[in-house]
């Protein structure tokens, strides 16, 4: 069996990348590496996650997410460290839930809770929680009303990067209607609207 450990002279990014790519996730979330954006940092790793995808090549109708791990030994002032995480998660909602005035605050609190639950220490966090309501017209009228929640956030991680990836995976599943720690458990009533 080949030794999967990075070489002793490996950079911190190589070590973190190896650890992230060795992670396993709950059965109802498919995570894959995607091309990382260029020009943001000397080192970057990007992942996409889809909740219960029917086709692994497209975003899931239940929920999807992206996360980018950035590393720069020069420690940009705005980051306050050598690492930065940029995360995105979105999921369709029932229109009745989409009009809840506290929805954005709840979605943001789920991110903080997921980070805390996984022991993922952080600082310099910022982001947005956006709720979208939609109604089809013309040839899209039959699709009816729809709603969606989208969360975008970035933060400077402290400690183990894998804890932050776990938190993002948990958040992506929570936005899609799956409770944390429900791996392998069927969730009744997780019906979503036709439009996203």
pTM of structure: 0.83
Query: pLDDT band at 144, cuts 50/70/90?
Result: confident
Strands (E), the chain: 29-34, 43-51, 64-71, 83-93, 121-135, 145-158
Query: pLDDT band at 155, cuts 50/70/90?
Result: very high
* Residues 71-85, mean pLDDT to the nearest whole number: 96
Give the 3-state secondary structure of residue 195. strand
Here the tokens at position 87 are 């995360």
Query: pLDDT band at 192, cuts 50/70/90?
Result: very low
Pairing of strands 83-93, 121-135: unpaired
When comparing pLDDT for 192 and 156, which is higher? 156
């Amino acid at each position: 069996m080949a030794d999967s450990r990075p070489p002793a002279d490996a950079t911190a990014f190589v070590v973190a990348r190896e650890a992230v790519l060795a992670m396993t996730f709950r059965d109802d979330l498919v995570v894959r590496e995607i091309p990382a954006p260029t020009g943001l940092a000397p080192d970057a790793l990007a992942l996409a996650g889809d909740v219960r995808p029917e086709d692994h090549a497209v975003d899931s109708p239940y929920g999807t997410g992206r996360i980018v791990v950035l590393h720069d030994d020069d420690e940009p002032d705005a980051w306050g460290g050598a690492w930065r995480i940029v995360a995105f998660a979105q999921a369709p909602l029932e229109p009745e839930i989409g009009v809840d005035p506290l929805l954005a605050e709840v979605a943001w609190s789920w991110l903080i809770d997921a980070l805390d639950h996984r022991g993922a220490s952080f600082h310099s966090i910022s982001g947005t929680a956006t709720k979208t309501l939609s109604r089809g017209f013309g040839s899209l009228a039959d699709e009816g009303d729809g709603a969606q929640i989208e969360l975008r956030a970035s933060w400077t991680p402290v400690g183990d990067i894998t804890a932050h990836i776990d938190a993002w995976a948990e958040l992506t599943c929570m936005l899609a209607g799956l409770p944390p720690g429900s791996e392998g458990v069927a969730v009744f009533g997780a019906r979503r609207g036709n439009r996203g």
